Amino acid sequence: MPKVLVSDPVDQAGLDILSQVAQVDVNTSLSPEELVAAIGDYDALMIRSGTKVTKAVIDAGQNLKIIGRAGVGVDNVDVPEATRRGIVVVNSPEGNTIAAAEHALAMMMSMSRYIPSADRSVKSGEWKRKDFTGVEIYKKTLGVVGLGKIGSHVATVARAMGMKLLAYDPFISAERAEQLGCRLVELDLLFREADYITLHLPKTPETTHLVNEEALATMKPTVRIINCARGGIIDEAALAKALREGTIGGAALDVYESEPLGDSELRELDKAIILTPHLGASTEEAQVNVAIDVAEQIRDVLLGLPARSAVNIPGLRPEVMQKLRPYLQLAETLGNLVGQLAGGRVQELTVRLQGDIAGGDTQPIMVAALKGLLSHALQERVNYVNASIEAKERGIHVIETRDADIRDYTGSLNLSAKGSLGEHSVTGVLLGGSEIRVTDIDEFPINVPPTQHMLFTLHRDMPGIIGKIGSLLGSFNVNIASMQVGRKIVRGDAVMALSLDDPLPEGILDEILKVPGIRDAYTVNL
Ligand SMILES: NC(=O)c1ccc[n+]([C@@H]2O[C@H](COP(=O)([O-])OP(=O)(O)OC[C@H]3O[C@@H](n4cnc5c(N)ncnc54)[C@H](O)[C@@H]3O)[C@@H](O)[C@H]2O)c1
Ligand SMILES: O=C(O)CC[C@@H](O)C(=O)O
């Protein structure tokens, strides 16, 4: 019988499902070292946010087939390492949506009426009514940053309570926002005009410290900010300073830069801030939902069946997966690349399948392309199961064309996307059946392997320009791994594709755009 280790508290409903097919051991007090020592015996690991599944845990988990996260975020799992080891990582993308949305709404209401401090005051024997005069949320403006599953529910309820709604989400169409009663605006306007700001976006390098000292300085002095998304989206030191100096009205946090929250000045701010210990998903209903959702997937994988919400491996039959895996990787990489070039808010994606890729069942390839396209925005929340639904909800029109004729390569894939930065296209092929090469960008021929950090420029083909970009990157201590230039005619327009060893530091793109002859520049992180 397979063995499952459950290392965080999960609902009994999940344990009952696991017990149908496995020996289940629940041990929620393991230290990181004890987990590494124990994991070798287990075929599956079920966790919540408490357990950190590091490379050391994965290396020691020689029998591990699946890691199940009873919740959304898999930021406590080393997913790339699990993928390398062929371990399926599953989550529950929707099981706690309502719980997290209601927690954010509860924070907004409690903050407006000083409920936690009034409660403390009465319990300490006081009766101070004047100190706790609150404000109404009716007719106030709520700025929702991130209009995905949780943000949408918050918006719907807030609208019913008579609030005016602004939203910022670079990957959502104005029509979708309008359906939810939100005016889609730029972030600086939302920061300036909102009476309440609630964050419902993933934490990524781009969203880290999205709410920082400069942003806080542009907000109303009465603004109240809620973060039930991820710690680190708000710069805690800047927030504490703004609250201390009274330049904003209040804050309510459920998540922190480091959890559990240690010695922090946030704890000293009393009436100005409400702090909860990452309780967004902690409702009876959500815990039952996520436990069942994830336990069912662990059971299925242990029985040799596909998982429906794998964040790293498509929910396809193993034999189909085996054959398609390189093509899926190609489609996902090109989708991610073209999505970033098109700049988010994509309205249309055209996928052209050429040669041997055009035969057989192309649907998984289409799904992989959409997963790649959305992955920059949705991170681990998009998978092979929900990519099509997520694309539909975002109003992305998908076009597929097939041509089975073999041209320069036995098979190639071309993706064009229309987004907020205009229309861009990329073509890619598989060399030797597995190595991905990008063979053109916007119809300029190149030949580059995709890498984690990339820079693309559109420039005039003229002497000296390549050297200037090279020296500029050097002056910012960015190392170039490889570089390719593609052009259609001599001294016409050209495209330069650079693979970089380091991420591009802030501000460098502006410097590149100032180089004479450079028409456009894009950074891409794959
Ligand atoms: N506190 C908790 O216990 C708890 C529980 C569940 C989820 N969460 C967190 O809540 C957040 C939202 O979860 P969800 O299920 O709604 O996710 P979701 O994927 O459905 O929505 C996220 C939205 O953020 C948008 N987005 C991405 N980058 C953005 C950016 N730079 N600026 C603005 N918007 C951006 C995406 O387009 C998407 O619409 C996540 O961070 C998740 O980890 C917290
Ligand atoms: O397990 C938890 O309670 C945290 C859940 C939440 O942050 C999530 O990402 O789903």
Q: How far is the centre of ligand 1, averaged over its atoms, from the C-alpha of 173 (Å)?
A: 16
Block residue for tokens 């997937």: 297
Determine whether the shortest distance from the Cβ of 97 to ligand 1 is under 6 A: yes
Q: Please give the angle made by the CA atoms of 423, 425 and 431, to the nearest 5 degrees.
A: 170
**Ligand sitting nearest the alpha carbon of 389:** 1
Q: How far is the centre of ligand 1, averaged over its atoms, from the C-alpha of 97 (Å)?
A: 10
Question: What is the predicted pLDDT for the residue at 321?
Answer: 61
Question: What is the predicted pLDDT for the residue at 205?
Answer: 87
| ipTM tops the 0.85 cut | yes
Determine whether the shortest distance from the Cβ of 374 to ligand 1 is under 6 A: no
Q: For a pocket test of ligand 1, which of 144, 169, 309, 346 has the largest count of ligand atoms closer than 8 A to its C-beta?
A: 169
Contacts of 213-219 with CB under 8 Å at 24 or more apart are: 213/238, 213/241, 213/242, 215/191, 216/242, 216/247, 216/248, 217/247, 218/188, 218/191, 218/192, 219/191, 219/192, 219/194, 219/248
Q: Counting Cβ atoms within 10 Å, is residue 318 exposed (0-12), middle (13-18) or buried (19+)?
A: exposed
Collapsing DSSP states into helix, strand and coil, what is residue 3? strand
Q: How far is the centre of ligand 2, averaged over its atoms, from the C-alpha of 514 (Å)?
A: 44
Angstrom distance (rounded) from CA 254 to CA 276: 5
Angstrom distance (rounded) from CA 362 to CA 370: 13
Determine whether the shortest distance from the Cβ of 99 to ligand 2 is under 6 A: no
Question: What is the predicted pLDDT for the residue at 345?
Answer: 87
Of 10, 97, 9, 67, nearest to 310 (Cα)?
A: 67
Determine whether the shortest distance from the Cβ of 200 to ligand 1 is under 6 A: yes
Determine the atom of ligand 1 nearest the C-alpha atom of 254: 1
Give me the domains of the chain, ranges plus CATH numbers.
3-92+289-312 (3.40.50.720), 97-275 (3.40.50.720), 316-442 (3.30.1330.90), 452-526 (3.30.70.260)
Determine whether the shortest distance from the Cβ of 228 to ligand 1 is under 6 A: yes
Angle between helices 115-123 and 97-112 (to 10 degrees): 60
Q: How far is the centre of ligand 1, averaged over its atoms, from the C-alpha of 422 (Å)?
A: 25
Binned average pLDDT, 10 residues per bin, the chain of 526 residues: 97 97 98 98 96 97 95 90 82 96 98 97 97 97 97 98 97 91 97 98 93 98 98 98 98 96 95 96 97 96 84 62 80 96 92 87 88 86 74 91 83 94 94 91 93 93 92 92 90 92 88 92 90
Question: What is the predicted pLDDT for the residue at 312?
Answer: 78
Task: Please give the positions annotated as active site.
Answer: 230, 259, 278
The protein residue whose alpha carbon is closest to atom 25 in ligand 1 is 146
Determine the atom of ligand 1 nearest the C-alpha atom of 147: 39
Q: How far is the centre of ligand 2, averaged over its atoms, from the C-alpha of 270 (Å)?
A: 26
The structure's pTM equals: 0.78
Contact 104, 280 (CB under 8 A): yes
Determine whether the shortest distance from the Cβ of 71 to ligand 2 is under 6 A: yes
Determine whether the shortest distance from the Cβ of 148 to ligand 1 is under 6 A: yes
